[in-house]
Amino acid sequence: MIRAKIIGTGSYLPSRIVHNEEIAGRLGLSTAHIQRLTGIRTRHWAGDHEASSDMAVAAGRRALDVADCSASSIDAIILSTTSPDMVFPSTACLVQRGLGCRQVGAFDVSASCSGFLYGLSMAQAMIQSGQAKTCLVVASEVKSRSLDLRDEATALLFGDGAGAVILRGEEDRSPEWRGILGIRLYADGAHHGLIRVSSGGSRTPLSSDTVRKQEHTLRMKGTSLFRIAVRRIEQAVLEILKEFGFCPGDLKQVVLHQANGRILSHLADRLGMGQDRLASVIEGYGNTSSASLSIALDDVVRGGNISPGDLVLLGSFGGGLTWATGLLRW
């Protein structure tokens, strides 16, 4: 049977590091308060010359190097972003050009912070259907350019970055079934207003009035969003574990969307997970939206915290409301 397996990971963070002191001064907050509230000390923001496609290309190259693959071996590119280079064409097409891939299918996914797992699910389906053998799944976000730096709800949290994986279909007859076991996707549009950029689309096009009202900046009702998201992701994690006959104690690593340090701790407690099994890069990178899960995964892989045969759980939640889980044996 063909299994879809991650054979390489990569990530990229811009060189500009933004410390809490820079954020605190604009909001009249102490740096200690910001860290206590979010778990974040620093975040990376893109330089003036950097767009989402640039970071995606850099992360993709690193994943290709780890996988020992050439760009010419890629059969499809799926890119998650809520901060594309432009409305169209897709940022994935720019990544295809930047990597020098063949004229393969390339498209964007917009599922907010759950976008990486949505993209991974699509790549898995393409591989198992025989449409592709090797896929690049990459998430890249430049959130810093849509922030109102006077808005405490968002200015504290968001950073920029990209993460990528190479997914390949391989024949697997082992009894342990290495590779992706399953990915489950969810959405609840009734809560679409909890985090959004309200203008700039076909409903409310760009105008001098929308610019004056700052309707092209990211707005978030953080307390409501995270309360609902934590409950949904906890339930989804338990459901996918039960579906495949596992319990939280069987997991070697849990890699979740890096939304907020307190939320990660809260989820770890609710799932009965020790901090040593929960990936956390929030302190140094902040919330990089859909890129955060893939960046955190690359971090734990490069840190040697995942070994062949380990059971790994992936989980994310974000605007839409969307959430997703994935279970794989490394």
Q: SS3 of 314, please?
A: strand
Catalytic hit among 93, 135, 191, 287: 287
Report the distance separating Cα 79 and Cα 138, nearest Å.
5
Residue with tokens 């992701």: 233
Q: What are 88's two structure tokens?
A: 């169209």
Which of 113, 163, 158, 111 is closest to 137 using CA atoms?
163
Residue with tokens 């044996």: 329
Active site residue 135: no
Report the distance separating Cα 270 and Cα 174, nearest Å.
33
Catalytic hit among 101, 191, 257, 260: 257
Strands 160-171 and 179-187: unpaired
Angle at 289 between CA 291 and CA 287, to 5 degrees: 100
Alpha-helical (H) ranges within 156-260 are: 208-212, 222-243
Largest CA distance in the chain: 61
Catalytic hit among 20, 113, 135, 191: 113
Active site residue 20: no
- 263 Cβ contact list (under 8 Å, min separation 6): 226, 229, 230
Active site residue 247: no
Torsion of CA 204, 286, 78, 329, to 10 degrees: -140
Catalytic residue numbers, as ranges: 113, 257, 287
